[in-house]
Structure 1
Amino acid sequence: MCKIGIPRGMFFYDYYPFWKEFFEGLGIETVVSPKTNKEVLNAGIFSCVDEACLPVKIFHGHVEKLRDNVDYIFIPRIMSIERMEYCCPKVLGLPDMVKYSVKNVPQIIDTRINLRKSNIGYKKSVYETGKYLEKDLWEIRSSYTKAKKSYERYIYLLNKGVVPIEAIKMYNKAFKDINYSSSSHELTIMILGHPYVVYDEYLNMNLISKLMKNNVKIITPEMISKEEINKYSSKLPKRMFWTHGKRIVGSAFSLIEKRKIDGIIYLSSFGCGMDSILIDLVERKAISNGMPFTLLTLDEQTGEAGINTRIEAFIDMMKWRNKDENNISAFR
Structure 2
Amino acid sequence: FRLVLSPATNAHISKTGIETIMAETCYPMKVSHGHIKELIGKTRYLFLPSIITMPTPEPSEVGYFCPMVQSNSYIVRMALGIDPSSILSPVIHFKYDLDTIALEISEQIQSKLGVRKAEIKKALYYAMDKQNQFSSELYRKGRKILEDQDPDEPIVIVTGRPYNLYDERLNLRLGQNLSKIGIAALPMDFIDVSSVDLSDFPSMYWGFGAQILRTARFVMERPNYFSLHLTNFGCGPDSFIEHFYKHIMGDRAYLILELDEHSAVAGVMTRLEAYKNVIENTMRKSRSDLKVDLRVVN
Q: TM-score, normalised by structure 2?
A: 0.83
Task: Decide which structure has greater helix share.
Answer: 2
CA deviation profile, 1:10-36 (whole Å, cap 9, x unmatched): xxxxxxxxxxxxxxxxxx121221111
- Deviation at 1:156? 0.6
Q: Are the counterparts in 2 of residues 162 and 223 from structure 1 also a CA contact under 8 Å?
A: yes
User: Does the 8 A contact of 1:190 with 1:219 survive in 2?
Assistant: yes
Instruction: Judge conservation of contact 2:49–2:88 (CA < 8 Å) in 1.
Output: yes
C-alpha distance in 2 between matches for 1:316 and 1:100 = 47
Percent identity of equivalent pairs: 25
* Contact 1:232–1:254 (Cα < 8 Å) also in 2: no
1:40 paired with 2:20, answer no
- Residue-pair matches, total: 280
Larger CA deviation: 319-328 vs 98-107: 319-328
The reply to whether residue 295 of structure 1 matches residue 256 of structure 2 is yes
Amino acid at match of 1:109: L
Is contact 1:77–1:91 with CA below 8 Å preserved after alignment? yes
Partner of 1:90: 68
Residue aligning to 1:240:
204
Cα shift at 1:180:
7.6
The whole-number CA distance in structure 2 between the counterparts of 1:216 and 1:227 is 26
Match of 2:239 in 1: 276
Give 1:12's aligned residue: none
Q: Does 1:285 align with 2:265?
A: no
Deviations 1:190-216, CA, capped at 9 Å, x for gaps: 112222222221111011122234454
1:81–1:113 CA contact under 8 A, matched in 2: no
Alignment of 1:114-129 (within 5 A): 114=93, 120-128=99-107, 129=109
Larger radius of gyration: 2
Structure 2: how far apart are the matches of 1:57 and 1:273? 15
Any gaps of 5 or more consecutive residues in structure 2? 290-298
Q: For residues 143 and 189 of structure 1, do their structure 2 counterparts lie closer, same or farther at Cα, with a shift above 3 Å needed?
A: same
Partner of 1:201: 168
Residue matched to 2:227: 264
Alignment of 1:156-195 (within 5 A): 156-161=136-141, 184=149, 186-195=153-162
Q: Secondary structure at the match of 1:232?
A: coil
Which segment drifts farther, 35-44 or 133-142? 133-142
What residue ranges of structure 1 are gaps of 5+ in the alignment?
Answer: 1-27, 164-178
Could you tell me whether the CA contact under 8 Å between 1:67 and 1:105 is conserved in 2? Answer: no
1:305 correspondence with 2:266: yes
Match of 1:67 in 2: 40
Distance 1:284 1:225, change over 3 A: same
Whole-angstrom distance in 1 between the partners of 2:239 and 2:125: 39
Other structure's SS at 1:297 match: strand
Secondary structure, aligned partner of 1:29 = coil
Give how far 1:126 is off: 4.2
Q: Deviations over 1:12-65 (max 9, x none)?
A: xxxxxxxxxxxxxxxx12122111121111100111123221111010011111
Please tell me the root mean square deviation across aligned C-alpha atoms, in Å.
Answer: 2.8
